[in-house]
Structure 1
Amino acid sequence: MAENKSKILLFGGSGYIGRHMVRASIKLGHPTYVYSRPHSDHSQVLNELQSFGAIIVKGQLDDHVKLVSALREVDVVISALAYPQVLDQINIIEAIKVAGNIKRFLPSDFGCEEDRIISVLPPFQAFLDKKKRVRRAIEEANIPYTYVSANCFGAYFVNYLLRPYEQNQEITVYGTGEAKAVLNYEEDIGIYTIKVATDPKACNRVVIFRPRTNMISQLELIALWEKKTGRSFSKIHVPEQELVTLSNTLPDPLNIPVSIIHSVFVKGVTTDFEIGGDDIEASVVYRDQLKFTTIEELLDIFLHDPPPKPALAAFE
């Protein structure tokens, strides 16, 4: 029943991954609020989310009074703000401290586990350092938190790596193509995030989405796609050094995506560390309640009921 459900407020709820979390929150029966700029560029998405049952709260991220007022209406706060707004979360933290009623805050992580990975290229490291700064501010303020490492957005990177909407016979491979990455379907990320946001076991812990069925290399992904489509692709390798050079020469923030590609698909940073004893690996802890879409199942979706083609401009 709705009255027994946590009220959830999302920042960045109209963004690429945020909208999946909003839909999941509503699907799981939570009264769901979306904090949005008064003149958002995503008005169509916001209207759609509102039609599903989301409550839209208009306000700016630097409007402290509005933030506090919105926070006092809810129990759980999830931020899915995009890269340029990472440090704006400090405003949310300050408002949470004043509101005094928030039971859990999930900052905008949802990618690599920034406190565990090392030796990434400087543009990506600078991005991760901003996320670390937010984490440390949360801890210093004694705000109950859950840090979610969702790894790679599966449909996005299937589109980016395989270009299934195109008829090209060539597929680009970064480095050797042998490093493994974790690809999780966006709808699953939404559902699991809402699950952990309201689970007492996940309070003040790191939750990592790393199902074994979703750990795959570029070469394995291409081979699986060839098997399912009956096609054969030529592999065009981009040497590691070329990615390193681009990360040093492209202007900010264009140097960040290429640095992420290098870290994830050449160095394998989403799979090269052990999950700690106090961490939660979501596919294990919730295996009796929820199930991750496997890579095979995700490719079947692209074959039979393809999701809308996302904009890939950030990684072009």
Structure 2
Amino acid sequence: MGGKSKVLVVGGTGYIGRRIVKASLAEGHPTFVLQRKEIGLDIEKVQMLLGFKMEGAHLVEGSFSDFQSLVDAVKLVDVVICTMSGVHFRSHNILMQLKLIEAIKQAGNVMRFLPSEFGMDPARMGDALEPGNVTFEEKMRVRKAIEESNIPFTYVSANCFAGYFAGNLSQMGNLFPPRDKLYIYGDGNSKVIFMDEDDVATYTIKSIDDPRTLNKTVYLQPPDNILSQRQLVEKWEEMIGKKLEKVTISEQDFLNSMKDLDYAEQVGVGHFYHIFYEGCLTNFEIGEEGEEASKLYPEVKYTRMDEYLKMYL
């Protein structure tokens, strides 16, 4: 690609998508955001899109119910990044990407596609608990379609978003850190990778023109953010000058808690189990099929979790 690649973000008003748009603009990429008619009367998303436009992004009308509009949007760019959420009850969004893949195939000009992943690596989650396994299986269906279509790709495994996992000291059902009592999963020593969401976006955009990441998985594992739950709690205790009461939840008690939960909650509990009891984010070595982001881009000054937690004081 000559110069900075042109980028289309699908799902640009979402939790990660809005950050991807800003990171793309900050890196000087001509940035296009799919303006879906399904947005309807969601004024906050409309205003966000207009804000992107004022910052220099181009809005492109398109809809998954209008295939030609997707093809036309894809033809404008070199790189397509999809950030449509696949969390819990919205997992059907993952398979909507199959239409996007068809549009990319028909357009024939895309040099890199980044599908909506940004969490655990689904290729390593073949034994995931039900019903959370559905999300991983659908992501693997999308990967299969990409690779069978010979579309150049980069997959991004971003691990745990700090807003959901660090700011609350990994407590389910709350997004603020406790100041008196908290739950520890098992021995609390499984290593977890916590990522500031803006850093996720920065590393993602860094990867899109990099030949080292072509047809590979980029794992976001900055070393200072590989922490156990207990280490994370200790950082918070030091900040507030107080030790918290800790209640340990055994593996079996944690799994037993799933039976009375609804579907979305069961998915969340399953993911927490794999992260905090099995250590699924750190119990493997990155092979030839992957690259680690902080090694590729040492110039990125990523946010450490003690810095991140300061906003909660």
Instruction: Give, as a single letter, the amino acid of the residue that structure 1 aligns with 2:158.
Output: A
CA contact (8 A) 2:153 2:214 kept: yes
2:306 matched residue in structure 1: 296
Corresponding letter in the other structure for 1:75: D
What stretches of structure 2 of length at least 5 have no aligned partner?
none
Task: Tell me the TM-score normalized by structure 1.
Answer: 0.89
Q: Do the aligned residues in 2 keep the contact of 1:123 with 1:247 (CA within 8 Å)?
A: no
1:197 shift after superposition: 1.3
Give the counterpart letter for 2:7 in structure 1.
I
The residue number in structure 1 matching 2:20 is 21
CA drift of 1:277 comes to 2.8
Amino acid corresponding to residue 160 of structure 1 in structure 2: N
SS in 2 for 1:181: strand
Does the alignment pair 1:49 with 2:52? yes
If the length of structure 2 is used for normalisation, what is the TM-score? 0.89
1:301 shift after superposition: 4.5
Matches within 5 A, 1:193-204: 193-204=204-215
SS in 1 for 2:168: helix
* In 1, Cα distance between equivalents of 2:312 and 2:294: 23
- In 2: Cα distance, 1:133 partner to 1:209 partner: 23
**Aligned ranges for residues 252-263 of structure 1 at < 5 Å?**
252-263=263-274
Aligned partner of residue 264 in structure 2, secondary structure:
coil
> Comparing 213-222 with 39-48, which one deviates more in the overlay?
39-48
What residue ranges of structure 1 are gaps of 5+ in the alignment? 304-316
Q: What corresponds to 2:66 in structure 1?
A: 63
Inter-CA distance 134–301: structure 2 relative to 1 (3 Å threshold): same
- Residue 93 (structure 2) pairs with residue 90 (structure 1): no
Identity fraction in percent: 40
Q: How does 1:1-316 map to 2 (within 5 A)?
A: 4-40=3-39, 41=42, 42-83=45-86, 84=90, 85-161=93-169, 165=176, 168-287=179-298, 289-303=299-313
The alignment's C-alpha RMSD in Å is 1.9
| 1:41-92: CA deviation from partner (whole Å, max 9, x where unpaired) | 3223223322322222232223210000000001100011111200000000
User: In the aligned structure 1, how far is the partner of 2:82 from the partner of 2:272?
Assistant: 24
Shift of 1:198: 1.7
- Secondary structure at 1:236 match in 2: strand
Cα distance in 1 between the residues matched to 2:64 and 2:221: 32
1:31 alignment partner AA: P
**SS of match in other structure, 1:161:** coil
Alpha-carbon deviation of 1:28?
0.6
TM-superposed CA distance for 1:273, in Å, is 0.9
TM-superposed deviation, 1:219: 1.0
